[in-house]
Amino acid sequence: MGNVVKRKIFKTYYILIAYYVAFILFAFVVDTPYNIFNGLKAIILESDLLITDYIAIGGIGATFVNSALLSLMCIGILVYVGIKPNGSTIAALSTITGFAFFGKNILNVWPIFLGVWLYSKYQKEPFLNYVLIALFATTLSPTVTQFKYTSNFSQIGALLIGICFGVVIGFILPPITSYCLKLHQGYNLYNTGFAAGLLGTVLMSILRAFGIDFKTRLVWSTGNNLIFGILLIVFFSSMILIGYCLDKNSFKKFKELCRQSGRLISDFYIIYGDGAVFVNMGILGILSTLYILMVGGDLNGPTIGGIFTVAGFSGFGKHPKNTIPIVLGTALCSMLNIWKINSPQMVLSALFSTTLAPIAGQFGWLYGIIAGFIHVCIVANTGFLHGGLNLYNNGFAGGIVAIFLIPLITSFRKDDK
């Protein structure tokens, strides 16, 4: 009886493991083992600052293997500590999966994991209570390797300094993350990104005061829209099918799910079950992919990372009704500002701006459009503050937008809803 219950509890993990195994099989279909090995080595040794497209650095095969291996490692940690699948675990895993296409790799995350683990020991609490923060805290993983790309230190010295910084970041980020939730009141889904943006800004300010700075970076691959478009549509369509197989009422529950505001903490997995969440993930993943193709953007490491992040938070705050107004706001802004709608900045802003989906869900589509519009303007300027160390730059910008906008909305809106 116990084994049956365990299988039921962890079936979501089994499904995700199957997807990651499929990633690895796909990698070896499109590339050779030799190229994959050399590509992984290039991914590990390269700078990881925003924006570093691993597909351009290591190739398609190596990037998919990196994403699959890192995601499988994280599932192993979750299972080991005994955390059951829920909306937050799916969001964390999908974010890891996505950012393993640009910025996180199988080596640079571990010092931050160690730092969060040490913090749990310092608090005399089980690591179970902090494991999700550890997964999200890897947003600052570029810090671990970035010092070796300056002329201030030797290679060994830079690596040791980077590891120490990673451990310290992991140790101090959990309390900052908890406090930041109070600042934006749950209207910014990428809460750790906001906390990491603040920490990254403080860190870069200190480093710049001592003459250490990092060059801006834009590594962006093109020309893979056909293969990635087909792959993503098939991938997310299979999620819809799996959701229906898991729960025959999943579409009915999905409609009910879309009535939720999505404000933190909204765990759709616990409320509506795994079937409805997989349906939601599939629909949002397809819509995100189609948006990139429709505006003439590139499907590559960063945009695939954005698509997986949007889909992942389908279990933890996002659905079509509260994300579409935000994206419309970003599209409107891109038609009026100095950047093209299909430029790297704009397509990434459109995807990640959905961190503000609870604003549209709580206050309506008009405020969602306004939030998306302002977000684009803010996020274009926040990257400099943390020097590209915070991979969740849109989470940082989203926190600023929410802190600015929510008091105005609640003070001046006419209705009492």
Rounded mean pLDDT, 142-167: 87
Print the domain residue range for 123.
2-192
Q: What backbone torsions phi and psi does residue 52 show, to the nearest 5 degrees?
A: -120, 105
Do the domain assignments include residue 24?
yes
Q: How far apart are CA 79 and CA 67, in angstroms?
A: 18
As a whole number, mean pLDDT of residues 68-96 equals: 95
Is cis: bond before 51, omega within 30 of 0? yes
* Cα Rg of the chain (Å, integer): 20
For residue 116, what are its two tokens? 């969060």
Confidence of residue 414 (pLDDT cuts 50, 70, 90): low
Q: What is the pLDDT of residues 204-245, one digit of tens each?
A: 999 999 988 888 889 999 999 999 999 999 999 999 999 999
**pLDDT score of 1 more than 90:** no
What is the longest distance spanned by two Cα atoms in the chain? Answer: 63
Cβ contacts of residue 339 below 8 Å, gap of 6+? Answer: 345, 346, 380
pLDDT tens, position by position, 319-357: 999 999 999 999 999 999 989 999 999 999 999 999 999
DSSP 390: -
Percent of the chain with pLDDT over 90: 88
CA angle 312, 314, 319 (to 5 degrees): 145
Return d(Cα 383, Cα 50) in angstroms, integer: 8
d(CA 109, CA 100): 10
Over the stretch 168-202, which tens digit does the pLDDT of each residue have?
999 999 999 999 999 999 999 999 999 999 999 99
- Is position 129 within any domain? yes
Residue 206 neighbours by CB distance under 10 Å: 10
Q: Is 219 helix (H, G, I), strand (E, B) or coil?
A: strand
> Is residue 79 in some structural domain?
yes
62 within domain boundaries: yes
| CB < 8 Å & 24+ apart, contacts of 115-121 | 115/166, 115/167, 115/168, 115/169, 115/170, 115/171, 115/172, 115/173, 116/170, 116/171, 116/173, 116/174, 117/170, 118/167, 118/170, 118/171, 119/170, 119/171, 119/172, 119/174
pLDDT at 284 over 50: yes
Q: Is 12 in contact with 90 (CB distance < 8 Å)? A: yes
CA distance 221 to 224: 8
Reduced to 3 states (helix: H, G, I; strand: E, B; else coil), residue 52 is strand
- 117 lies in a domain? yes
pLDDT grade for 265, boundaries at 50, 70 and 90: confident
In a domain, 25, yes or no: yes
Using the predicted structure, report yes or no on whether residue 310 has a pLDDT greater than 50: yes
SS3 50: coil
Average pLDDT over residues 156-175: 94
DSSP string, 331-370: HHHHHHSSS-TTSHHHHHHHHHGGGGHHHHHHH-HHHHHH
Answer whether residue 302 is part of any domain.
no
In-domain check, residue 337: no
Instruction: Burial-class residue 151 by CB neighbours within 10 Å (0-12, 13-18, 19+).
Output: exposed
Q: What are 98-125's pLDDT values in tens digits?
A: 999 999 999 999 999 999 999 999 999 9
- Calculate the CA dihedral of residues 81, 83, 88, 94 and round it to 10 degrees: 60
**Residue 9's pLDDT is what?**
55
327 touches 291 (CB < 8 A):
yes
* The total number of structural domains that make up the chain: 1
Q: Which tokens belong to 67?
A: 């994403």
Q: Is 362 left (phi over 0), alpha (psi -120 to 50) or beta?
A: alpha
